[in-house]
Structure 1
Amino acid sequence: MLTVRGTPISLQHPDSLYIDGEWRAATGERKLDVIDAATEEVFLQIGETSTQDMDAAIAAARRAFDHSPWPFLEPKERAEYLRKFAAGMRARAEQLATFWSREVGATYRMAVPSMSRVPALFDYYADLAETYEWEKRDQPEFSAFGVVVSEPVGVVGAIVAWNTPLSLAAYKIAPALLAGCTIVLKAPPESPGELYLLAEIADEIGLPKGVFNVVNGHRGVSEQLVRDPRVDKVAFTGSSPVGRQIASAAGERLARFTLELGGKSAAVVLDDYDLGTAAAAIAQQECSISGQVCMSLTRVIVSKHRHDEMAAALGAAFGAKRVGDPFDPETDLGPVAMAKQQQSVLNHIEAGKREGATLVAGGGVPSHFERGYFIEPTVFANVDNASTIAQEEIFGPVLSVIPAENEEHAIQLANETQYGLNNAVFTDDVERAWYATRRFRSGTAGNNGFKTDTRMGFGGFKQSGVGREGGIQGLAPYLETKTILLDGVPKRFQ
């Protein structure tokens, strides 16, 4: 039992894995250390998943799908479990937030309200049980009766990134369970706490055996999960290089897959918009989880005659953010999640300097911290859109200001990237906003800030992913449609 700012956190079964409706001792050869991002101290150890453990989890999910009533329950019956999940998460909101802050560096004052949005997602999908058209009757040409039914895709292997594990898992678990799928969830070893709490909730609410299984581990067991022929669909959130490997492996056996991958999103600031207002909005958003957000607006594109003013405004706004302990209510920006992530960000900062960008603010590790994976809020100006810091996903608090010749050139620059996850245009002219957003090659396009609405779905173009999560669009990947043609009309439809 640990206490952080008065919030007790513990796991009931840190040495075990949740498989087939029970906690089983992990049989891996070692313990996995979970590090506090602000102190660099091990605050939790969990048992590592072995290949035998992963095999058992997949087998449990397969049995539950093939031999239990779960896939054939009415959607409203499965929806009741989603509502119980939501209630369990609300009861543990502070514990969930504490794990997130310690593991990843999210500020606690942001983490607690953020946790309220995850159970709301489960409630949203529970509501869809009543409104989604699961059976669509039609009049066939050569039969007396025809209907297209939506059925679960099968066993789902879900793999999530370490930055926001609970929310990323929720976008997979909630629609998959509603659809009638069974799940093997592979928790990230760097930040497993929230997902272990989710497994505890599943245990408490009496979810049927094998329907939801939680394991952990690194690349070996992830690849095992992706390649196993008993797994019908893979749902992955993480980097684009890993996503390509998963797509290739799934394609070899024609398994279904959805991929939510990286981004290098642009904020295009048009000439009618106030630069100070834009800078404040962009800097505030980039504080979220210390920039460890795939949809972050990290490329700021502005007309070259306003470039210097934009860079100065961003440097002042972002540089003024307070870096510190994520549990301090005055902190704006906590640490990044781990040592290797801190080094990766620092390497990108050095690349920016080396390739000729102008450092406006930040650029290193805050001098007053002896421990913790902290990075100064950093702004570069005069950034070439083809440079490393403009093209590679940094996943840290680093902004690049890029000059453009005009509005058309700005949109062109926004699209000149392998990614296509999110973009935004800053303008008070809604017609110009409509024009720009329709021309962005990205899955989400917003106006005057970082905007997303998960009930409308999100995902990416190009190497930012395949498929969508959230909303009705996020339910479809967990369903297969079946056309049924009969010589009579079943009682269900009479």
Structure 2
Amino acid sequence: MGMKDQLNPQGELSERVRTQFYIDGRWCDARSAERLELVSPITENVILTVPGGCAEDMSAAVDAARRAFDTGPWPRMAPSERAQVLRRIGQAIAVRQELFARVWTAQVGATIGFTTMFSSLIPGYYDYYASLADHYAFEDVRKTAQGHARVVREPVGACALILPWNAPLILLSQKLAAGLFAGCTFVVKPSPETPLDALILAECAEEAGLPPGVLNIVPAGREAGDALIRDPRIDKVSFTGSTDAGRHIGAVCASRIARCSLELGGKSAAIICEDADLQTALGTIVPFAMPFSGQICFSQTRVLVPQSRHDEILDAYVEAVGHIRLGDPWDTATTMGPLSMGRQRDRVLSYIEKGRGEGARLVKGGGTGGFNQGYFVEPTIFDRVTPDMVIAQEEIFGPVVSILTYSNEEEAVAIANNSQFGLSGTVFSKDVGRAESIARRVRTGNISINGLQIDPSVPFGGFKQSGIGREGGVEGLEVFLEPKAIYFPA
């Protein structure tokens, strides 16, 4: 197909981002010969080889974070001082917005239009948490029977942030902006497939004057990551990724009573009511299941349609998906690129086979689109899906959508809730009051009416196996704080 990789790592990335880790305010060499190969999902060629961390690298990073928390200035600064540094980090990210978008496209294959749009939102997280300095109460006073108590919210400590490969910078920033404002210190373990974003962010933090040891970045695989979550010097682990990995991390944290927040999988339902405006619904559902090849935790992958409008909605949906242009993500006319990895493509294709085997009707897609290089899977729609089918229950993390029918509102809510997950959702109706009534009955952490929104000031996270804790909003700050009560006599 003639596609080529357009990122020039030697020309666009500093030598330290390509060859070193960031520990204790310094760029340093890896302690082992471990290497991470960054494979292009577009051409399947290795675009760059970078060092991978070992347990000793992690230990050095934890040591720096621990020291910065226990004896450094950061947790002891006034919130307004930390807010100034956060704003400068946001500004440094904004200056590099184009680079972040290009690195994202190169590593995971999301279209350049998508990565450019979402990269522009990232400074907003740092600005939002900086804005809390004006009014968030880190202390309050409460009357007691014998005097009063001062309730102080202190930073939780040295934290491990463990990131997935799909949207590394935005998911790191959701955690980091909140935790930095709280006064915590960090060891960040980016995914071995997408290490570059966090390392470029280290350059932003350095430029912004973040004190040494507050932010430490060590890209690594599972073994070094396991050493990190087991380290008794780490007070809290915040993880975004698969439910299986979250289960393991949660168990390790529980064994040593470490704090833990988990943002995990989803199988979100889009409920289209009988009176819904179809263009509004399709305008939301098509982009939020497909453009990043379905590799977003909040993808609306179960589309619930009333029996009375099934044929009309299915035909319109198939037609809308037909306009998705699968191809080179560097081409601005492309609306969907490849999946991020070969193993991801194979996993998605295996789910498509399961759907066929279970008796669902494949109405669109199902193959690799005729591409002989790159990890492509076509936008795929299954109809006649029943709630108990594997493709309706498990997170596929690919461009595969299931159409399910319902006969009344109660059944729609029951189908939406028939899931181990509860992360996101949407409801479409011309009657906003009716849509709200449905939204309140769906057991999910986020649900949007006649659209799909995410905002830094609003908590994001899931019910059930979609996770524990929240990111965004005041709620995202409070997972990085420990309340302490100090009692005073009368």
- Contact between 2:25 and 2:211, CA under 8 Å: does it hold in 1? yes
Alpha-carbon deviation of 1:36?
Answer: 1.6
Partner in structure 1 of residue 367 of structure 2: 364
Alpha-carbon deviation of 1:473?
Answer: 0.6
Partner in structure 1 of residue 223 of structure 2: 220
Work out the CA distance in 2 between the residues paired with 1:7 and 1:451: 37
Partner in structure 2 of residue 457 of structure 1: 459
Alpha-carbon deviation of 1:224?
Answer: 1.2
Work out the CA distance in 1 between the residues paired with 2:11 and 2:478: 39
SS state of the match for residue 486, structure 2? strand
Counterpart residue type for residue 438 of structure 2: A
Partner in structure 2 of residue 129 of structure 1: 133
Q: 1:177 aligns with which of 165, 169, 180?
A: 180
Deviations 1:323-352 (A, max 9, x none): 111111101101111111111111111111
Counterpart residue type for residue 57 of structure 2: D
Counterpart residue type for residue 326 of structure 2: V
SS state of the match for residue 479, structure 2? helix
Alpha-carbon deviation of 1:487?
Answer: 5.2
Alpha-carbon deviation of 1:455?
Answer: 1.3
Structure 2: unaligned runs, 5 residues or longer: none
Correspondence 1:344 to 2:347: yes
Query: What TM-score, normalized to structure 1?
Result: 0.95
SS state of the match for residue 398, structure 2? coil
Counterpart residue type for residue 76 of structure 1: S
- Contact between 1:27 and 1:48, CA under 8 Å: does it hold in 2? no
Q: 1:474 aligns with which of 473, 476, 480?
A: 476
- Contact between 2:38 and 2:49, CA under 8 Å: does it hold in 1? yes
SS state of the match for residue 292, structure 1? coil
Deviations 1:206-239 (A, max 9, x none): 3211110001111111111111111000100001
Work out the CA distance in 2 between the residues paired with 1:124 and 1:357: 45
Q: 2:441 aligns with which of 439, 442, 456?
A: 439
Return closer, same or farther for 1:75/1:277 CA change in 2, 3 Å cut-off: closer
Counterpart residue type for residue 452 of structure 2: F
Deviations 1:137-178 (A, max 9, x none): 2333324x5311111000110001110010110111111111
Q: 2:337 aligns with which of 334, 339, 345?
A: 334
Alpha-carbon deviation of 1:285?
Answer: 2.1
Partner in structure 2 of residue 423 of structure 1: 425
Return closer, same or farther for 1:343/1:3 CA change in 2, 3 Å cut-off: closer
- Contact between 1:176 and 1:475, CA under 8 Å: does it hold in 2? yes
Counterpart residue type for residue 181 of structure 2: L
1:73-88 correspondence runs (5 A): 73-88=77-92
Deviations 1:243-267 (A, max 9, x none): 1111111011111111000000001
- Contact between 2:40 and 2:107, CA under 8 Å: does it hold in 1? yes
- Contact between 1:11 and 1:193, CA under 8 Å: does it hold in 2? no
Counterpart residue type for residue 250 of structure 1: C
Q: Which moved more, 1:25-34 or 1:3-12?
A: 3-12
- Contact between 1:353 and 1:359, CA under 8 Å: does it hold in 2? yes
Work out the CA distance in 1 between the residues paired with 2:384 and 2:37: 41
Counterpart residue type for residue 156 of structure 2: V
Correspondence 1:322 to 2:306: no
Counterpart residue type for residue 31 of structure 1: R
Return closer, same or farther for 1:412/1:276 CA change in 2, 3 Å cut-off: same
Work out the CA distance in 2 between the residues paired with 1:478 and 1:281: 33
Partner in structure 2 of residue 17 of structure 1: 21
- Contact between 1:378 and 1:398, CA under 8 Å: does it hold in 2? yes
Return closer, same or farther for 1:277/1:78 CA change in 2, 3 Å cut-off: closer
Work out the CA distance in 1 between the residues paired with 2:441 and 2:479: 26
Correspondence 1:397 to 2:399: yes
- Contact between 1:457 and 1:472, CA under 8 Å: does it hold in 2? yes
Q: Which moved more, 1:455-464 or 1:4-13?
A: 4-13
Counterpart residue type for residue 450 of structure 2: N
Alpha-carbon deviation of 1:277?
Answer: 4.2
Alignment length, in residue pairs? 485
Deviations 1:80-118 (A, max 9, x none): 111111111011101100010111111112211211211
- Contact between 2:55 and 2:228, CA under 8 Å: does it hold in 1? no
Q: Which moved more, 1:49-58 or 1:66-75?
A: 66-75
Q: 1:378 aligns with which of 370, 373, 380?
A: 380
Correspondence 1:251 to 2:254: yes
Q: Which moved more, 1:413-422 or 1:427-436?
A: 427-436
SS state of the match for residue 480, structure 1? strand
Correspondence 1:40 to 2:44: yes
- Contact between 1:9 and 1:99, CA under 8 Å: does it hold in 2? no
Work out the CA distance in 2 between the residues paired with 1:333 and 1:3: 17
1:88-103 correspondence runs (5 A): 88-103=92-107
SS state of the match for residue 222, structure 1? helix
Alpha-carbon deviation of 1:30?
Answer: 2.5
- Contact between 1:280 and 1:314, CA under 8 Å: does it hold in 2? no
Work out the CA distance in 2 between the residues paired with 1:486 and 1:34: 57
- Contact between 1:273 and 1:426, CA under 8 Å: does it hold in 2? yes
Partner in structure 2 of residue 281 of structure 1: 284
Alpha-carbon deviation of 1:308?
Answer: 2.7
Q: 1:312 aligns with which of 311, 315, 318?
A: 315
Work out the CA distance in 2 between the residues paired with 1:18 and 1:147: 38
**CA root-mean-square deviation:** 1.7
Work out the CA distance in 2 between the residues paired with 1:6 and 1:46: 11
Structure 1: unaligned runs, 5 residues or longer: 489-494
Counterpart residue type for residue 362 of structure 1: G
Correspondence 1:49 to 2:53: yes
Partner in structure 2 of residue 491 of structure 1: none
Work out the CA distance in 2 between the residues paired with 1:380 and 1:418: 21
SS state of the match for residue 60, structure 2? helix
SS state of the match for residue 76, structure 1? helix
Return closer, same or farther for 1:181/1:330 CA change in 2, 3 Å cut-off: same
Work out the CA distance in 2 between the residues paired with 1:179 and 1:209: 17
Partner in structure 2 of residue 119 of structure 1: 123
